Structure formats: structure tokens, C-alpha cells
Amino acid sequence: MYTIYCDESGFTGNNLSSDPQPFFIYASVNLDPAEASALVHEIRNSAKRFNKELKGSQLIRTCPSLVNTLFQSLQGRVSVLIVDKIYALTAKFFEFMIAPILHPLMHFLQASSFHHFVITTLYAYFKTNEQTANHFLRTFEACMREYNPDRLLALLDHGSETDETSEMLAGIRRLCHTYQHQIREALADIQNLGGVRKWILDISMPSLASSLMYWGKDGMPLRVYCDYNKALQEQYDLINFMTDCSKGTSIILDGVSFPLYSLVEPIHLVDSKQEPGVQLADIVASAFGAASRSGEGAWGDAFLHQHAALLHPACMMVNVEHMDLSLLPAYTNRRIFDELIRRVATDNDLFADLEFVITQAHADFPAWHALLNQI
């Protein structure tokens, strides 16, 4: 059995567009309870300033050498998931507004990483067009929290396009306007979620699930302690509903297969003061949070590079290769996107013979790449 302790940094619930905290960090530590207590006791004695509870944010500022020592002690027993909140919010937009339209071919399109291409290209546009991003993403966020499909579809209505709108966003507006019935059906499913509906944008619960899938890959049952937050409390039944990994059931997270974990008992949502292991997870999360924030410069980059092996495969961070048209996958996905929008404009079947589009893109790519090299 593994004992897993979890805590986060940068938690803002279902508000992902909060500027002061652009990153959400979820840390999990696989540690025997007795060793966790001993490590906390050792740090307290060395720091001589934490009477009741270790706080990662304070320890990083006052005793960075102790943080380095802790990381050395925890080698191989830590997993950290970093989420760029704007990237995650853009991914949520794709999930709820675009994926329902493309549902008949989503498995095919995911194999091409089409979703990564669209999300990354939109993300890059939002990051360089702050005014549009603030309006668009915050309105989307508010509509999802309030469950307001009419306002949401008004945001996406193609009639609201302006000269400042990106070509991709303009195409997405047309797509969503034309196929709004499918979007409404998907949003109706969200309404049926009841009380947990308001947490539809929360990333702490899926981050916890991803973390436990990572530790469950060895087939060991898990005993889990998490620092309490309201989002996890109100989704408690969901986080405890997991099948026995010994049955061979697995889930794919961004191309990596993880078995569904098994719990020896329901997950414990605790006050970190009572669990030394959770305090250690807080230190790990706080350290990665500090390193991820803009303005940390060389120290942050060096820290993330040094501890890159601790990063979870399902981290939600932008990868510009997904939108780099000098690479075959991005070029192919751009051709797919352009063809889908062309079919919307000409009222043609959205899904017919997309395999041919991919074949043609692959055939055209060498000439395209040669042209880029001449520029």
C-alpha cells in the first residue's frame, strides 16, 4: 500500500482567469507516515520558527537550503502537476464548445492532436490580445459558472466579430453558430450534474485524480490524505468513485495510459496542521509555484530544469510545437481546421473524407516547408 499526501498552490476554485496567480500546482508525495513525521520534526528543529505547522511559502523565503534538503530526501517519491490556468480555461472552452460539435470524429482528431493545435493557437492569441482575452474568457467563465447557455452562445455568435478577432476565433464563431444545437445538448448534460455543476471549471479534482492515477500505475492500493478545499469537499463522491486497478481498466491522459487507482478507504480531506505529510506536499507545491511565477527569472528556470523529472505527464502547459506550422503535425491540423471552416461556410458535410485532407496535407508539406525555408 502507498500512502499519498496531496496539497496545492495557486488554488482559485472555478475562477481560472485570476491574474495574480497564473499557475495552479498540485503536488503529491508518496511517503510512509512515520517518515513524514520525522522529516517535519527535522525541518522544524532546523528552522526554529514553525511551532504548529510548516508553511511552504514561508519556508522558501526564510530557509531555502532546507527546501533543497527536503527535495533530496524525497527523490523518486514526488509528482507535481503544473497547470497554466489560461491554457486550462482555453482547453475547457474547447471541451464544452467545440468538442460536442466534432464528437463523431473526436477520436480520429485527437490522434492527430487537433485539440492541442486549436487550444495552443487560441491560447497564443489570448496571451497577445489581453483586452479580447479578458472579455472572451471571463464571459465564458461566468456563463459556465452561472449555467447561462443563451449568453454563452451570444458571445460566440458570428455576428459579434470585429476587425480585431483572430482568423481562428472568427472560424470558431462560425462553427459554433452553425452547430449551436449540439452545444446546447452538451450544456444540458452539465445542468444535470446538480450541485457539482458550479465546479465544472475547477482543476483541483481532475488534478487529484491524475496524481492518483500516476501513483496507481504500480497496482498498489492507495491511502490518500488531501488538504481540504471546498471544491474537493463538494465533489467528494466523484473523487472516491474509482474501480480496482487490478481489473486492468485504464484511462488515457494525453497519450499516456494510466490504470484506474484503487483506494483502501475514502480519501481523507484534512487540516494540514494534523498531517505532516500534507505539510511536506505544501512545501513542494509552494516551491514549484514560486518557480513558475513570472518574474522569478534565472532561479525559477533553474529550479524547474533541476526538478523536471518530478513533473507529471499530464501537466497543462503550452507547447508551441503544437502550433508551429513548420512542423508536419501543426501544418496538417491547420489544413483540417481550414477545411472544417470551409465546409461550414459552404454548408457541406463536416466529416466526410477528412482522411483525404490529411493525406493531401502530408503530400503538400515538403513544398510548404521548402517555401518557409526561403523566407
Domain ranges of the chain: 2-84+202-310, 326-375
Query: Contact at 8 Å (CB) between 126 and 90?
Result: yes
* Most confident among 52-61, 208-217, 306-315, 323-332 (mean pLDDT): 323-332
Angle, helix 328-346 to helix 167-178, in steps of 10 degrees: 50
- Residues 6 or more apart whose Cβ sits within 8 Å of residue 314: 81, 210, 253, 254, 256
pLDDT at 211 over 80: yes
**What value does the mean pLDDT take over residues 177-185?**
92
**Fold (topology level) of 2-84+202-310:** Nucleotidyltransferase; domain 5 (3.30.420)
Task: Quote the pLDDT of residue 3.
Answer: 98
Closest CA to 205 of 251, 237, 179, 177: 237
Strand-pair category, 222-227 with 268-270? parallel
pLDDT of residue 45 exceeding 90: no
- Which tens digit of pLDDT belongs to each residue from 231-283? 999 888 877 765 444 455 566 655 556 667 889 999 999 998 889 999 999 99
Q: Count how many residues are written for the chain.
A: 375
**Overall pTM surpassing 0.75 (yes/no):** yes
